[in-house]
Structure 1
Amino acid sequence: MKIQKLVKNIALASTLLCSVSSWAAKEVTIGYQGMYNPMKYAIDTEMFEQATGYEIKWRKFDSGAKAITAMAAGAVDMTVAGSSPIASAASKGIEMELIWIMENIADAEALVVRDGSGITSPTDLKGKKIAVPFVSTTHFHMLFALEQFGLSEKEVKLINMQPNAIMAAWQRGDIDGAFIWDPALGKIKQNGSVLVTSKQLSAWGKPTFDGMIASKEFTQENEDFVVTFLSTLAKVDRSYVEGRDTMTADNPMAKSVAKISGGDAAGVVEAMKLYEFLDFDGQLSCQWMGCGAEGGATQALKSTSEFLLEEKKITELQPDYSLYVNPTFAEKAKAAM
C-alpha cells in the first residue's frame, strides 16, 4: 500500500510539474523602443495577450544596442531593434533571427542641426558636436553620411547619447546637431532644420529598417505564438495604413502610441506618416525577407555589417546573413489569414 501511495504521489507531483511547466511556457518577455508605430496600440489594448493567451512582459529600451544586449543575456525572448544593431548581433553570432520588418524607416530618422549652430551645409559639420545613439540605425547612417560628404569621423565630434539625453543636451545648447528618431526628432525640429534623412541615405545605397527579432530557441519552442503574434501585428499595421489619411489626434491609435512611446497625439499622427509599414506581400518580397541570400533584408544586414567592420564596430563578418532572416513565420501567418 505504501508503494502504491508513493507511486500516486509521484504521479501527482509529475502532473503538477507539467502544469507549472505548461503555465511557464506561456510567459514571454518582449522588448520595444520608442518609435511611433501601430504596435504600440496593440500593446496598450493588450491585443497580443488576447490573441495568443500568453502573459507578455513588455520591456522598453532606449536603443537597439541595449535590446540586443538583453537578448544575448537571455533577458528577452523577442525585441524590436534597428537594422544596424541587428547586423551587429548577427555578426557576433547571437542566436536570433529577424522575423518581421517593423517599418521601413524612410524619413522617420534624420540629421537635424540646431538653429544658430552655423551649419547650413555638410561641410559645416567640421568641428561640430553631433549626438547619436551608437550602434543604432542613425549611427550607421551618420557614418555613411560623413563618408558621402567626404568627411572623416575625426573631423566631426560624434557623441554617444540616448534619445532622452539628446533632448536635454539640445535644450541646454550642448550639441550642434543630432541624428535621431521620434519623439526626440519632432522636438528638436522645432528649433532646428533637417540636413539629411535616412530616406535620402537609403537611396544612396544603404537602406535601414526596424525589425522584430526573436531568440531561435524561443521560436522553435513557441511557433504557434510567433505566428499568431505576427498575424495580430499585420492586422494592426493594416488598420493603420487603411486609415492613415484620415487619422487625427483624437484617434484611439494615435492616443495609444503617444501614451506608450511618449509625446503628443498630434505629433504621432505626423510622425507615423514618415514610415512605411509593410503588408505580408511586402514582408515576403525579395525587397525584404524573401529570396534568401539575395533578399533585401539579408543584403542590408550584410552591407551594414561590412560598414561596421570598416568602422571597427565589429571584429568579423558572417559567411551567410540569410541564416539570421527567417520569413517562415510570416509565411504561416499569411496562410492562416
Structure 2
Amino acid sequence: MMAGALAATASAALTACGGSGGSGGGGKRLRIGYFAFPSGDLIVKNQKLLAKALPDYRITWIKFDSGATVNQAFLGKSLDIAALGSSPFASGISGSSPIPYKAAFVLDVAGDNEALVARRSTGITTVAGLKGKTVATPFASTSHYSLLAALQQAGLEASDVKLVDLQPQPILAAWQRGDIDAAYVWLPTLDELRKTGVQLVSSKSIGAGGKPTLDLAVVTDELIARDPHAIDVWRRTEAHALRLLASDPDGTARSVAAELGISLADARAQLAQGVFLTPAEESSAQWLGTDGSPGKLVDYVTSTAGFLAAQKQIPAAPSRATVGKALYLKGLPGVLA
C-alpha cells in the first residue's frame, strides 16, 4: 500500500474513532491507538482503568486495523501511545529517519490467535501447497512477517506465491468471493476464515521455530520527555489487566465481548488462543528486561528486522544497539507493581 493511502487510512481511523472512550476534560491528554483484538488493552479501555487512574486527563482511544496505519499516525504526530506488532515496530525503527518512539510494554505473544488458513475448497493442506496461489495478509504486519517465515520454512520464496496486501475485513470479503486461496491474519477475522478453511500453520509454531512475534505497546519520545508519570500509570493499568486475565477470566471475557461485539463464549475462546505474560515476566530477562539491562526482546526485534531486510521488506536492519535504545525500560520492574 502506498504511503499516501496509508496516511489517508490513518486519518480516516482518527476521524471515525477519535471520540471512542474519551474521558476527562483537563488540559492533559493521551491519545491511545488500539486494535480490535483480544488483549489487556481492551480490558483497560472497557473497564476505564486508565481513566480512573488519570481522572484529570482527556483520554482518547483510536482504533486501527494494522501496524502500518499506526506507524503512519505516529509519523503524523496523532498518537502518544499505541499497540504495535513487533514486525512494524522493527520497520519503524529502521532507516535513516526512524519513528521517534520506544517499546514500553508487551501486550501479548502471538500464539494460535494469528494463523495461515487456506480455503477448504482449494484442497490445500500444507504451506508448500500454496505455490502459485494467491495469499493475502496485511503488509508490514506481524502476520506478514510470519507468512514470509512460513514460506521460507516450507522451501518457498515469496515470489512463489501471489501476495496480496489486504486488511482483515477486506480479507474476509475476498475470501467469501473466492478471490484468494489463503490468508495469514489474526482474530477475530481468523475465526471466520477457519469456518470454511484449513489451518496450515500458526504463529505459535512459527515462534517455536525461532521467529516469535509479539504485540508491543509503544510510546512517543515526546511523551517520554513531557509526561513520564502518565506512562508509568498507563503501564500499571496494563499490568493490572494482565493480572485480571489470570484472576478474573469471566470478567475479562465480558469486557472483550463487549468491545468486540461478540458472544461471551467466543470471547473466552479467543482469549484462550493468546499468550499473555505476567507483570513479573514483562520485566524479566526473557522479555523487556529492566532499566540498564535489556531483555531478549532486543534479540527478537533485531532478528525480525534482519529477516525483513533479507526479504527486502526494509532497506537495512538496525543494529542490536539501535534496537536496545528503542526500548523504554525506565522504572522497570518496580513501576509494574
Aligned equivalent of 1:166: 171
Output the CA distance in 2 between the equivalents of 1:264 and 1:177: 26
CA apart distance, 1:265: 2.8
Structure having the larger proportion of residues in helix? 1
State whether residues 253 and 267 of structure 2, in contact with CA within 8 Å, keep that contact through their aligned partners in structure 1: yes
Output the CA distance in 2 between the equivalents of 1:178 and 1:227: 38
The runs of at least 4 aligned residues of structure 1 exceeding 2 Å deviation read: 252-256, 258-265, 291-295, 316-319, 329-332
User: Structure 2 matches for 1:57-68, cutoff 5 A?
Assistant: 57-68=60-71
Larger RCO (CA within 8 A; separation ≥ 6): 1
Which one of 123, 135, 143 corresponds to residue 138 of structure 1?
Answer: 143
User: Structure 2 matches for 1:260-275, cutoff 5 A?
Assistant: 260-275=259-274
CA apart distance, 1:59: 0.6
Gaps of 5+ in 2: 1-24
State whether residues 99 and 330 of structure 1, in contact with CA within 8 Å, keep that contact through their aligned partners in structure 2: no
Aligned equivalent of 2:335: 333
**Does 2:296 match 1:296?**
yes
User: Structure 2 matches for 1:1-337, cutoff 5 A?
Assistant: 23-24=26-27, 26-53=28-55, 54-92=57-95, 93-244=98-249, 247=250, 252-290=251-289, 295-319=295-319, 320=321, 321-334=323-336, 337=337
Gaps of 5+ in 1: 1-21
User: What is the percent sequence identity of the aligned residues?
Assistant: 34
Output the CA distance in 1 between the equivalents of 2:128 and 2:39: 34
CA apart distance, 1:282: 0.4
State whether residues 244 and 252 of structure 2, in contact with CA within 8 Å, keep that contact through their aligned partners in structure 1: no
CA apart distance, 1:23: 4.0
- TM-score normalised over the length of structure 2: 0.87
State whether residues 242 and 279 of structure 2, in contact with CA within 8 Å, keep that contact through their aligned partners in structure 1: no
State whether residues 31 and 59 of structure 2, in contact with CA within 8 Å, keep that contact through their aligned partners in structure 1: yes
State whether residues 28 and 77 of structure 1, in contact with CA within 8 Å, keep that contact through their aligned partners in structure 2: yes
CA apart distance, 1:253: 3.0
Q: Secondary structure in 2 aligned to 1:107?
A: coil
Output the CA distance in 2 between the equivalents of 1:169 and 1:268: 25
Structure 1 pair 32–330 and aligned structure 2 pair: CA distance change class (3 A): farther
State whether residues 294 and 329 of structure 2, in contact with CA within 8 Å, keep that contact through their aligned partners in structure 1: no
- TM-score normalised over the length of structure 1: 0.87
Which is higher, the Rg of structure 1 or of structure 2?
A: 1
CA apart distance, 1:262: 4.3
- Summarize deviations over 1:41-97 as a string: whole Å, max 9, x none: 221232211111211111100001100110122110110010000110111321100
- Summarize deviations over 1:120-171 as a string: whole Å, max 9, x none: 1222101111110000001001001111100111111111000010111111
CA apart distance, 1:293: 7.6
Output the CA distance in 1 between the equivalents of 2:235 and 2:126: 42
State whether residues 114 and 187 of structure 2, in contact with CA within 8 Å, keep that contact through their aligned partners in structure 1: yes
State whether residues 99 and 329 of structure 1, in contact with CA within 8 Å, keep that contact through their aligned partners in structure 2: no
